[in-house]
Amino acid sequence: MLYSIYTTIMSRNEKIPVYNRIAQQRELLGMSRQQLAELVCVHYQTIGYLERGEYSPSLVLALKIAEVLGQDVQSLFSIKPFPKGK
């Protein structure tokens, strides 16, 4: 029970997962998690949680990540799964 409360809060809304392409974009730019974390002022583990979809970022963090990765927020985050290979 405790764990489900924890995951709900971590994902903000368990019923609507947020999909993202942070890992693909980061790797495309040859950036490590640590480097990205430093650029957006979060802990490196938070990037891991984000990439695995275990944590949904705030709007501010999403905008910061999009800016650092040179992408629009819509192309990085979505409430629908991204088509494979794109």
Partner 1 sequence: MSQKPEKKFYWSTGITRNEVVKSLNDTRHSALRSQSNRRWLVSLTAIALTVMAFTTYIPHTKVRSYLDILLMAIVLVAYFQLRKSVRNVADAPDELLDERQISVRNVGYLHAYRYLAAIGLLYFFFYYFLNETEFLKMTLGLESSSLIQVFFSYCMWGACLPSMVLAWLMPSENQN
Q: How far is the CB of 46 from partner 1 (least distance, A)?
A: 5
Any idea of the CA torsion for 8, 59, 23, 10, to the nearest 10 degrees? -10
Measured in residues, the chain has a length of 86
**Which of 15, 30, 58, 83 touches partner 1 (CB under 8 A)?**
58
Q: Rule CB under 8 A: is residue 57 a binding residue for partner 1?
A: yes
**Which of 39, 42, 63, 73 touches partner 1 (CB under 8 A)?**
42
The beta-strand segments (E) located in 4-82 are 19-20, 77-78
Return residues touching partner 1 (CB under 8 A): 2-3, 5-6, 9-10, 41-43, 45-46, 48-49, 55, 57-58, 61
